[in-house]
């Protein structure tokens, strides 16, 4: 099976205008939810910001976190000081194909938003895992008969939810799936891996304000 709507995820799709508009809109939404509808406290935020903006050239970044709600991403990036609305610095994220890519409209939306569809249970060598590896490998967008240069690898950031599903239990992270480990091992350049733990996102947008905690 080929890669779903890969053309919409290219940096030069319609000169990058749809991506910039979408990232700005979603980023603004994340800022409002994280800072105005809720109260968010972030520990070691400088670590994430520095790695996203100025890590060593040629070194990719993988961030991993627990998964408490469907709003974890993008709201977890909406804290004050983070460049949430910068399309070039925005993360790539692995997204469940059966939820985020149900039809053409959703597929286009999430593809433009730098999401890579993953088939849960499809194994670590499924086609879209190879696409995620490419985002970490050389900064190029590659597919059959097409090779288009993207951003430099040091600008690439991939976020994963290695538990593989939403879990709202107030307990340690469960056994992790193999996909994230396979990306780390298979990447030609060993990526920086940043673990993130957050709490409170299962009650986001609740009233009175929820206090969300993010630890980096």
Per domain, the residue ranges of the chain are 6-215
Q: Residues near 29 by Cβ (< 8 Å), separated by ≥ 6?
A: 74, 78
Q: Where are the beta strands (DSSP E) in 87-179?
A: 92-96, 115-118, 140-143, 146-149, 157-160
> Residue 150 — pLDDT band, cuts 50, 70, 90?
very low
Backbone angles phi, psi at 100, to 5 degrees: -90, -10
Domain 6-215 sits in CATH 3.40.1130.10: yes
> Residue 177 — pLDDT band, cuts 50, 70, 90?
low
Backbone angles phi, psi at 169, to 5 degrees: -75, 140
Torsion angle, CA of 120/122/124/127, rounded to 10 degrees? -110
pLDDT at res. 143:
20
- Over residues 84-100, the pLDDT tens digits come to 999 988 888 888 898 88
**Dihedral sign, CA of 57, 137, 9, 99?**
negative
């Amino acid at each position: 099976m080929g890669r779903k709507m890969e053309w919409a995820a290219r940096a030069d799709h319609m000169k990058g205008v749809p991506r910039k508009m979408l990232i700005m809109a979603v980023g603004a939404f994340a800022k409002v939810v994280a800072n105005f509808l809720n109260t968010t406290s972030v520990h070691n935020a400088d670590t994430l910001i520095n790695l996203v903006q100025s890590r060593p050239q040629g070194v990719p970044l993988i961030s991993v976190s627990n998964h408490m709600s469907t709003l974890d991403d993008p709201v977890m990036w909406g804290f004050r000081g983070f460049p949430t609305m910068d399309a070039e610095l925005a993360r790539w994220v692995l997204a469940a194909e059966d939820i985020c890519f149900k039809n053409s409209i959703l597929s286009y939306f999430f593809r433009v938003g730098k999401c890579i569809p993953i088939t849960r249970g499809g194994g670590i060598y499924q086609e879209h895992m190879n696409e995620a590896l490419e985002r970490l490998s050389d900064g190029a967008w590659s597919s059959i008969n097409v090779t288009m240069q993207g951003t430099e690898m040091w600008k690439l950031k991939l976020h994963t939810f290695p538990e593989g599903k939403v879990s709202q239990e107030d307990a340690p992270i469960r056994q992790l799936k193999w996909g994230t480990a396979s990306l780390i091992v298979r990447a030609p350049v060993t990526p920086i891996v940043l673990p993130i733990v957050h709490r409170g996102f299962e009650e986001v947008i609740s009233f009175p304000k929820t206090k969300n905690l993010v630890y980096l």
